[in-house]
Structure 1
């Protein structure tokens, strides 16, 4: 699991430090899939969890008590398109939108399999009871330890705590709304016996059927906020229209504060070169795709997970130069590697097709990575993008390669590619990371043409 954070201290990433600049955030914002996050939340240990959407960040900006409550939580789950867009402003794409309405049923389903019980606290009178009935009907084996509304039954906090503890609940879902639920948990979670406590907003209203969920196609288009605004325009207009704009404006301002003239110049160079290459090389791109499809079955493009800047995984695009089931056959050819060290390369790799050998020698197979550059996942110039399995066994010094975006070309690429050992490649990349500049990038781009023509180390 990867964590995004803005405070100094160790965080879990792909063996390296990972940072984001979401406005005002100091606690940990989880960047992981639903499955991985649930596994973490249900593992041994006590945790207090909050969901964070744009509205939550706006409340943080004006409410110090709420901000303190959020910052003291163990983990924060990203909820909504606003948080995803704010993360993208820093060049980071969150793996999933962990909104409560989808996440909590998945969490409770796994909790039921693990024999854990849940207490529902909050909502109007009757809402928690109806939500409990619906959840039991939907999730076989789910144990509801107890329910309590968020009105008359919530007035005496000592009584609420005693009732929850007497129920023996392993999980407590508190639905008092923002900021009340976070403040309640900040005060009282230490006195609860449950291992997992969560502020869940309007989730119980959805589970009880009090609020109609947007159709699946609306949710898939990441426009559920538009649906909710249409359903409750008076209550939500200010939050969604003015609030979202305010949040994204602050996120953009904070992101821009981290820019430097050098980083702006490099990004402009990347975009300019990538757009020009895409236009000028489009005939070659088309012919290559046709040649690949003609020779062998399978898609012309090949996608693969690689590790980018700060250890963040991304999907790299290349022309397919191997048979379509090459990944499944990789383990059977590892011993044929021509290079010492971690990275696998073999001139006689039997998985490579005839067209593949040509496009590898001429580096045409790398051209679709232009799209990765335009997406901001790669640069024109940078270290070779590493495979996750390679990064897992990196020595400490090699992790320095991940301090900059990977590139289509770079020092290693123009210095012999596969003829260069892993240790030499690491030293080249570290030297580039410490002395990179626009002028150096331009020089390396020019040297790339010579490397492509010579074909040295390309296989």
Structure 2
């Protein structure tokens, strides 16, 4: 039986307080025990979406673990007086799981983005982690009428790990809807991680990550993200105005 996750609630969204090492161990134990786990790597934009959409919040709460991917979440938890251990980014968690997967010869399926990018990401990961078996990859450009076909394809290959990159608005609801049929022990949305792994985009240098400006580095590479990024100042303002209540757990269900 896996341990209980220590959590802090950011405006009602329960974030894991575990560091990367403990998160990886927790997930490894569940995979080895055959317990299916849906991991959400969440940022302030997703928290704001949950506040504005009850259905989106309900979807997030159906996941098994929500990790603090965004630097803004780490900052908000500290402001609320109930800090997390550290930031647990989706791309780093993916790599840590691949490292563990080498020892266990886990099978992996990659889903999302364009076929060119997903194929390049699969090739890069397979070279880095030759003992992991990447059993399939498919682009994320399919509609609801093709869902059953895609789900059946993945389930037939029986991957231990399924990573999905279709954008937070699409990937998480899709995972929640189809997780039972997908059967994979671990399913995780990874957003733009495949763009970085494939080499299409560069990840911000460590010093930029340390000063919590990774969002700006990414925005300079993808100016089309500006409307989405405008949510960040709103989140920061909400935290500053409500810092006494940021981490209070109020069950509105």
TM-score by length of 2: 0.87
Aligned CA distance change for structure 1 residues 221 and 161 (closer, same or farther; 3 Å): same
Report the counterpart of residue 252 of structure 1 in structure 2: 240
Report the counterpart of residue 107 of structure 2 in structure 1: 117
Report the counterpart of residue 28 of structure 2 in structure 1: 42
2:131 pairs, out of 116, 141, 144, with: 141
Where does structure 1 lack aligned partners over 5 or more consecutive residues? 4-10, 14-18, 260-459
The 8 Å contact of residues 117 and 195 in structure 2, kept in 1 or not, is answered as yes
- Tell me the C-alpha RMSD between the 2 structures: 2.2
Distance 1:155 1:207 in 2: 29
The 8 Å contact of residues 11 and 246 in structure 2, kept in 1 or not, is answered as no
SS for the counterpart of 1:76 is strand
2:225 pairs, out of 236, 248, 267, with: 236
1:30 pairs, out of 7, 11, 16, with: 16
Query: 1:162: Cα distance to partner?
Result: 0.8
SS for the counterpart of 2:168 is coil
Query: 1:251: Cα distance to partner?
Result: 2.7
The 8 Å contact of residues 116 and 169 in structure 1, kept in 2 or not, is answered as yes
Report the counterpart of residue 116 of structure 2 in structure 1: 126
SS for the counterpart of 2:115 is coil
Distance 2:84 2:214 in 1: 18
The 8 Å contact of residues 128 and 204 in structure 1, kept in 2 or not, is answered as yes
Query: 1:246: Cα distance to partner?
Result: 1.1
Report the counterpart of residue 372 of structure 1 in structure 2: none
Report the counterpart of residue 208 of structure 2 in structure 1: 218
Where does structure 2 lack aligned partners over 5 or more consecutive residues? 248-253
Distance 1:187 1:149 in 2: 19
Report the counterpart of residue 441 of structure 1 in structure 2: none
The 8 Å contact of residues 239 and 246 in structure 2, kept in 1 or not, is answered as no
Distance 2:55 2:110 in 1: 24
Distance 2:246 2:172 in 1: 30
Aligned CA distance change for structure 1 residues 166 and 226 (closer, same or farther; 3 Å): same
The 8 Å contact of residues 23 and 250 in structure 1, kept in 2 or not, is answered as no
Distance 1:195 1:123 in 2: 22
The 8 Å contact of residues 20 and 90 in structure 1, kept in 2 or not, is answered as no
The 8 Å contact of residues 39 and 64 in structure 2, kept in 1 or not, is answered as yes
Paired residues, what number? 241
Mapping of 1:345-356 within 5 angstroms?
Answer: none
Mapping of 1:50-449 within 5 angstroms?
Answer: 50-152=40-142, 156-233=146-223, 235-240=224-229, 242-257=230-245
Distance 2:78 2:237 in 1: 13
SS for the counterpart of 1:256 is coil
The 8 Å contact of residues 66 and 182 in structure 1, kept in 2 or not, is answered as no
TM-score by length of 1: 0.50
Distance 1:250 1:128 in 2: 37
> For each residue in 1:240-293, what CA deviation from the matched residue of structure 2 results, as whole angstroms up to 9, or x when unmatched?
3x311211222334433489xxxxxxxxxxxxxxxxxxxxxxxxxxxxxxxxxx
Distance 1:160 1:174 in 2: 12
Aligned CA distance change for structure 1 residues 156 and 81 (closer, same or farther; 3 Å): same
The 8 Å contact of residues 38 and 63 in structure 2, kept in 1 or not, is answered as yes
SS for the counterpart of 2:46 is helix
